[in-house]
Structure formats: C-alpha cells, structure tokens
Amino acid sequence: MESAIGILDSGVGGLTVVREVFQQLPKEKVLYFGDTLRCPYGPRPSDEVRRFTLEIVRYLSGHPLKALVIACNTATALALDEVRRQVNVPVLGVVEPGARAAIKVSQQGRVGVIGTEGTIRSSAYERALKRIDPRLYVVSLACPALVPLVESGREENENSRKILRESLAPLKKHRLDSLILGCTHYPLIASMISREMGSGVTLISSAEETTRELIGILSSHGLLRQGPARHPEEHHFFTSGRPEAFRSIAERWLHRRVRVEHAVLSALDESQVG
C-alpha cells in the first residue's frame, strides 16, 4: 500500500501524467524520472531507446513500487513489452489508452496522430487504432521540433507559433475531427496546438485515460492506498539533466513546489551534465 507509482519519461512531458495522478489519485506517492539529459528520444535508434528506458526502470526499481507508467510514447512503442518482462509490478504505457480515448470522441472517424519520429515510425498508434476500428481514417505526422520547444520552457511568442504552424501544416488538408497528442510533451503546449488546428479538431491527451486505467489496475490488485492525501514533499522527482531547469517547468505545470534530485545513470551521463 505504501509503495509508490513510478512514472518515467524522456524529459518533462510525463508531468502531464503526473498531474492527472495527483488529481485522480491524491493518496498515492509518485516517483518520477525525466531523462532530460538525453531528451528527445524520438530521433534515436530503437535499441538505444530501449536501453535508456531499461536503465531508468532499474533506477526506479531501487525504490518500492506498486506500478510503473511509461509516460513516454516513444519508449512505450519500443520498450513496453520488454519492461513488462523484467519487472514484477503492473506496467502501463500511454499508446493504447490514447487510442481508446480518441475513438471515444471521434465523430467522423478521421483521426490524426502527432508524435516524435520514433513513435510515428513505429506505427504504434495506427495499429492500436485500427485494432479497435479498422474503418478509421488515420493520418500520422512526426513533429520533431516540438519536444525541444517544450523542453526549453520557451513561452509562446511569434517564433514558437511559427515552429508550430510549420510543423502542423501537413495535417490541414485531411479534415480531421480529432488529433492524438502522441507525445506527453505536447499537452504542455495544447492551447497553441488547438488554436493552430481550429475548434473543429478535438485534442486527445492519453494522460487522463492512462490514469483511469491505472486506477482500475491498482483497485483490482487491492493496491489503492487508504488515508489522507499525500504531502507534496513525499513525492520525488529525478532528472538526469539540470535540476533547476526541470524544477522551473515542473512547478509551473503542476502548480506546486517540487523536490528534484539529479540522478546519474552512467559515468558518461555525468560528464555531459557539466
């Protein structure tokens, strides 16, 4: 009961899942790892993404866990099955929940997916969507410029709007009715994406659906914690990069103070931080 929910991501994007967990599971303790030093994962080779993901899983497994959420879409697409084989707690990804959420809201069956190069190359979302409804019209688009935009913590300005406009332009001709934000970084700039796509396109974040699924799994295993809500200081945030940069974005997104620790996964990583 007192074990934590582990959440991992390539950077700050998984904080969208953390925020949902805080809202829906306030009694649970969260351990979060953001691999900001090696972000983004999208352009990296598949075997490298799997290796990085397993390194983080081993790090988080050094603490008592009751469940693990891979909040990174690229890592989910490429490493979920392997992680499930290596740990003895329930492991959730964000792809399947995101696909289910999109199908619930799509009125015309015209679904777009934006994500990193790795996620889009894997076709994970398209396969998940078509398994549920083979009739769907699905358009996928890699948007490699968006994760660096979020990780930089850059506020909305003309340059960021230009980057977004150019990234999303290929989707405009497809008459989509819904758009899956297939990277957990993207909800951090959802308002900008929504304005660019227009009011006729519903944005889908997998964070809410993933958390609902997490609640069901914890409940079925008798692992939901009873008692009062957790104090903010009970949650732990780890980053492979610079703690202050991570803390700035985390506190702005979560609307609370957070404790962030620098975590070293290898000697090579440590040499890159300085």
Q: Residue 85 and residue 213: Cα distance in Å, rounded?
A: 20
Range 130-142 average pLDDT? 96
Q: Residue 267 and residue 274: Cα distance in Å, rounded?
A: 12
pTM of the model: 0.89
Tens of pLDDT, residue by residue over 246-271, are: 999 999 999 999 999 999 986 444 44
Tell me which DSSP letter residue 189 carries.
G
Range 86-112 average pLDDT? 95
Instruction: Give the residue among 105, 6, 133, 113 at the shortest CA–CA distance from 59.
Output: 6
Do the Cβ atoms of 192 and 167 come closer than 8 Å?
no
Instruction: Give the residue among 116, 152, 115 at the shortest CA–CA distance from 36.
Output: 152
Residues acting as catalytic residues: 72, 183
